[in-house]
Amino acid sequence: MGIVKATVTTIENRSAVNGVTTIALLFLHIGAIAAFFYVTIPAVLTGIALYWICIGFGIGLGYHRLHTHRSYEVPKWLEYFFALCGTMTLEGGPIFWVATHRVHHQKSDQPGDPHSPRDGRFWSHMGWIIFGEAKHNNTAVMSKYAPDLARDPFYRWLNTYHFVPLVLSAIPLYYFGGIPMLLWGGPLRIVLGLHATWLVNSATHLWGSRRFKTRDDSRNNWWVAFLTMGEGWHNNHHAHPTSARHGLVWYEVDITWMTISLLNAIGLAKKVKVAKVTSVVNEEDVIAA
């Protein structure tokens, strides 16, 4: 899951470097390093808040658990808001992200998986974005993998112009906090979010424990879960893809699940699907890391 530009990419497609994406990533990383030379308290707090909103709301609550897996339901306005937050990560539009991730679940660690570490660790982390095909905003191509989203004109528009909300966000950031807030709320926050999301594709298919004997290499990794607000309980997730809850026991902290529970308590989240806990404590399913 995750990127600036790319598409559902198979290993056969790794050919030319995706120029625009690579240059954008290069400048973003330079901007991220520069942020450490422009430190102000408001800038740092803004960066943290935007990280939470974009990665927590946009990816965890939105793109992943809602748009891709439909593990719960919210009013349309909130669904659209989460999608807008998702675009702010620069991981592509909703139709692209959902299509790529659904293919990942269909072909996990098999030929056709867009980002499996079996094709190389660097490939699974960011190689698939740098060398992948640049069809991320080719809405027509991606739509067949996400027909539910493609029926919605708002998602079709957002998928093509996914960079617009992020570009517009530069105006208030610069207006209220100058260069420091622009760098912390922009490049640094984006780069940390991208790597955190990419770690779900790389690290949680490499390192951590396996509670369930899934047919892929997925693992539960606490530090990726910390960075992504719950997405690191990835073996649980591959075993129970439609569960809104990924951290299945009390010590598997899952901030996104806590947020869904809160939304459910105030009546905003409905039809919340949760993996049965009995399936978790079946010791026969527990195997060593």
Minimum distance, C-beta of residue 237 to Zn ion, in the bound complex (Å): 6
End-to-end CA distance of the chain: 23
The angle subtended at Cα 112 by Cα 111 and Cα 116, nearest 5°, is 75
Minimum distance, C-beta of residue 102 to Zn ion, in the bound complex (Å): 8
Minimum distance, C-beta of residue 251 to Zn ion, in the bound complex (Å): 21
How many Cβ atoms sit within 10 Å of the Cβ of residue 166?
16
Binding site for Zn ion (CB under 5 A): 218
Cβ-contact 40, 188 below 8 angstroms = no
- Give CA–CA dist 288/115, Å, rounded: 24
Minimum distance, C-beta of residue 242 to Zn ion, in the bound complex (Å): 9
The angle subtended at Cα 205 by Cα 136 and Cα 29, nearest 5°, is 50
Which residue has the closest beta carbon to Zn ion?
218
CB nearer to Zn ion: give 218 or 236: 218
The strand pairing partners of 73, in sequence order, are 270
- For residue 93, give both structure tokens: 């539009």
- Give CA–CA dist 148/159, Å, rounded: 13
CB nearer to Zn ion: give 31 or 120: 120
CB nearer to Zn ion: give 18 or 108: 108
Question: 103: helix, coil or strand?
Answer: helix
Minimum distance, C-beta of residue 108 to Zn ion, in the bound complex (Å): 6
Cα 243 to the chain's mean position, in Å?
16
Minimum distance, C-beta of residue 249 to Zn ion, in the bound complex (Å): 19
CB nearer to Zn ion: give 218 or 243: 218
Minimum distance, C-beta of residue 31 to Zn ion, in the bound complex (Å): 29
CB nearer to Zn ion: give 18 or 218: 218
CB nearer to Zn ion: give 120 or 178: 120
- Give CA–CA dist 186/43, Å, rounded: 10
DSSP assignment letter at 186:
I
CB nearer to Zn ion: give 180 or 241: 241
- Give CA–CA dist 133/121, Å, rounded: 19
